[in-house]
Structure 1
Amino acid sequence: MSAMAVLGWRTLWSLFVCFTVLRTNALSVTMSESTMEVVRGDYIILPCSFSTYSPLSRLNIIWTLAPFSSPESPFQVIVYDHGQIIEDPSLIGRVGFTDLPLRADIMINDTRVSDAGVYRCMVNNPPEAADPGIGELLLTVLVAPSLPACRWDGEVDAGGSVTLSCSVAEGIPTPEIRWDKLNPEEISLPINMEGELSGSVQIINVSAQTSGLYRCSASNLLGTENCYINLSIYSGSESSSGILQGVLLTLSMSLMLSALLVLVTWLHRTGRDGRWRVSKGEEEEEEGYNEIRYTPSLIKRSFV
């Protein structure tokens, strides 16, 4: 093999080794978790580590969030650039780096539902690889079910139809809704879901046995909230009995009023008769007195 050929091979080998070393020493980013969960109101640390062989004087870290509510509109959560930290205005006081400049982890406290989504950690440390290292993590914010609202609609007379409805305002994961009759014995009722957060039960041809206490439950892994309805069904015999009692009460009151009217009339007449007798007696008494008074005068005149 000629000297030129040997030199050529050595040159190619040197280029290959240099290229391999550069590839090996390129900046890399590692996310120890790909999905995480946090209860609303708690804090959480999102991990992001990186390896680099260059000085950290030009280190640049950018965290972005694509919220579940608008995944097509990602925004910058926090940035570290040349020793300066810039936070998104909506997250000031709630987000920060935990171990700069050795790691790119961030902490979010007082978590909210709006914090849920896909987070991306991008690290760049010139003059290393031109393309920044990128890691991705999905964060879910868990929310306990809110207190459900119970209501009913329909006819509570025997033979009618009643619908029991229940709805809950929030809960992550989506709460499971169920209806149960609690007494005289506990029975699970088939439910018709109306969207993810509300469900109803329809009871047809109701009877006295339908009466009782009903409970709606909204449950997820964070807990259970309940609301209740006390349902009373009126049978036909109860209605007839109520009507009969009303009629008897009306008759009783009519008789009492009639008796009172008779009594008042009798007292009025008795009072008038009494006054008439007194007046007549006074007139007779006055006439007798006049006779006694004037008789002596007449007698005296007869002897004059």
Structure 2
Amino acid sequence: MGALPRAALALAALLGVSSAALEVNVGTGSVFSVEGQQVVLPAWYTSHSQKKPYVTWLLDREDADPFQILTYLDGVVKVEETELKPRVGFLYPVLSHNISVFINATQERDSGQYMCTVNVVDDATSTGKNVGVINLTVLVPPAAPACHLHGHPAVGANVTLSCASEKGKPSPAYRWQRTAPTLQVFFPPAQDQARGTLKLTNLSLDMSGVYVCVAENRAGSAECSIALEVHSASTKAVIAGAVLGSLGALAIVVFFAHQVIGYRRKKRDSQEETANEIKEDAVAPKTPTWARSPASDTISKTSTLSSITGTREKPYGAKPPSDTVSILTGSYRGPPPRGGGRTPTLSPPAVNGAPQRRHDPVAPPGPLPPSSLARTGAVPVMVPAQSRAGSLV
């Protein structure tokens, strides 16, 4: 790099450049570097003045205003407070007229437009001749890509292989290939180099193998691989049959569970209906019709009862009638005997001088239980008691 400025100075001397020949030159307008490596921005100036120059380097990025990164003034080099401070400096002594700058461990954010300006106290120059411009582009190699399989690799089916890298400058291009023992390369439209996809149609068993994707740009390359195993149709049918069998068994279990629950629910409902029917069959007691009859009917019934009781002196039973008579039970109980003693037993009269044999009265049939009367449709009726005079009480 030092030979070029010296050659320029020698040429200027041969041409007789005057003191007004201050000019800044650059070796190239564009410089490329790979991230992490060192880069040099070549620049020099011409001047016949013996005075020390004033040199300034600025960086203009797309996302920020220009700012100073390096200066030389009165023999002192100063690096500005920037992220480049520990990595930037002059490549040669400034007084040699070589004002080239180096940047170590370049990063993607170092990309931009670098401008160097030179001014000498007693040297004049035309407008724009004392400024040099160099564009720096820091390239980023692709990161390790990720490979994915989309679709079910069965015989006759279609699948898509995809490949993508998270970073890379410029954007990487993708290239798919099949490795040995069956080496194979692919071309568009099956392969999309910009998107990193590879479409495989109508799969067959011999298309099984290892497929490699290579992502590359000017800074480098990286790759990933994926193993493709094509399944036969029979394997697919076995899997489908197993799935359907599992679903069928589950459906049978659900069906029987539903039947058991329905049976239990039906049994419970029938028991509840039976209990309700028993309650509904019970009939409330009704008031007898004679109790609702007018007073005239009551008077006639009273007189009738009086005429009946007029013949009570005739022996018709062992016990007098009771105060109440129950039609439901069929029993009749008279009032207790007067005097508190037992009722005397009458002997049958003699016939032709011979005493007759006494026959004990036959006991009337026992009363029927209320439940039996209710089932036969009987209605409970209460008969009012009667007094000794034959009137109703």
2:21 equivalent to 1:26: yes
The residue type equivalent to 2:70 in the other structure is: I
Once the two structures are superposed, what CA deviation does each residue of 1:148-186 show, in whole Å capped at 9, x if it has no partner?
111111122333321111011233444331111225512
Which residue is 1:101 aligned to? Answer: 95
Give 1:54's match in structure 2, choosing from 49, 53, 60: 49
Contact 2:179–2:210 (CA under 8 A) maintained in structure 1:
yes
Match of 1:209, SS?
A: helix
Contact 1:34–1:136 (CA under 8 A) maintained in structure 2:
yes
Match of 2:37, SS?
A: coil
Larger Rg: 2
Which residue is 1:83 aligned to? Answer: 75
Once the two structures are superposed, what CA deviation does each residue of 1:74-115 show, in whole Å capped at 9, x if it has no partner?
332212233342424211111112312333222211111111
Give 2:66's match in structure 1, choosing from 36, 51, 74: 74
Q: How far is 1:136 from its partner?
A: 1.7
Q: Distance in 2 between matches of 1:183 and 1:45?
A: 43
Q: Distance in 1 between matches of 2:226 and 2:75?
A: 61
2:163 equivalent to 1:166: yes
Contact 2:19–2:48 (CA under 8 A) maintained in structure 1:
no
Q: How far is 1:218 from its partner?
A: 1.3
Match of 2:231, SS?
A: coil
Q: How far is 1:48 from its partner?
A: 1.6
Q: Describe the shift of the 1:151–1:213 C-alpha distance in structure 2 as closer, same or farther (beyond 3 A).
A: same
Corresponding residue pairs, total: 223
2:225 equivalent to 1:231: no
Q: Describe the shift of the 1:201–1:72 C-alpha distance in structure 2 as closer, same or farther (beyond 3 A).
A: same
2:105 equivalent to 1:110: yes
2:203 equivalent to 1:209: no
Q: How far is 1:123 from its partner?
A: 0.6
Match of 1:93, SS?
A: helix
Match of 1:135, SS?
A: strand
Q: Describe the shift of the 1:231–1:32 C-alpha distance in structure 2 as closer, same or farther (beyond 3 A).
A: same
Higher helix share: 1
Which residue is 2:30 aligned to? Answer: 35
- Superposition RMSD in Å: 3.1
Which residue is 2:152 aligned to? Answer: 155
Q: Describe the shift of the 1:22–1:221 C-alpha distance in structure 2 as closer, same or farther (beyond 3 A).
A: closer
Contact 2:60–2:113 (CA under 8 A) maintained in structure 1:
yes
Once the two structures are superposed, what CA deviation does each residue of 1:115-166 show, in whole Å capped at 9, x if it has no partner?
1222211111123226460112222323332211111111223333211110
Contact 2:49–2:120 (CA under 8 A) maintained in structure 1:
yes
Which consecutive unaligned segments of at least 5 residues does structure 1 have? Answer: 1-20, 247-304
Q: Describe the shift of the 1:143–1:62 C-alpha distance in structure 2 as closer, same or farther (beyond 3 A).
A: same
Q: Distance in 2 between matches of 1:212 and 1:133?
A: 63
Which residue is 1:192 aligned to? Answer: 192
Which residue is 1:301 aligned to? Answer: none
Q: Distance in 2 between matches of 1:80 and 1:48?
A: 14
Contact 2:19–2:123 (CA under 8 A) maintained in structure 1:
no
The residue type equivalent to 2:82 in the other structure is: P
- By relative contact order (CA 8 Å, sep 6+), the higher-ranking structure is 1
Q: How far is 1:56 from its partner?
A: 2.5
Structure 1 length as normaliser, TM-score? 0.63
Contact 2:42–2:99 (CA under 8 A) maintained in structure 1:
yes
Match of 1:89, SS?
A: coil
Q: Distance in 2 between matches of 1:32 and 1:138?
A: 11
Q: Distance in 1 between matches of 2:82 and 2:219?
A: 31
Once the two structures are superposed, what CA deviation does each residue of 1:264-304 show, in whole Å capped at 9, x if it has no partner?
xxxxxxxxxxxxxxxxxxxxxxxxxxxxxxxxxxxxxxxxx
Q: Describe the shift of the 1:60–1:24 C-alpha distance in structure 2 as closer, same or farther (beyond 3 A).
A: closer
Q: How far is 1:214 from its partner?
A: 0.9
Which consecutive unaligned segments of at least 5 residues does structure 2 have? Answer: 1-15, 244-393
Higher strand share: 1
Contact 2:19–2:47 (CA under 8 A) maintained in structure 1:
no
Structure 2 length as normaliser, TM-score? 0.50
Identify which range, 72-81 or 92-101, moves more after superposition: 72-81
Q: Distance in 1 between matches of 2:130 and 2:159?
A: 61
The residue type equivalent to 2:87 in the other structure is: R
Which residue is 1:136 aligned to? Answer: 133
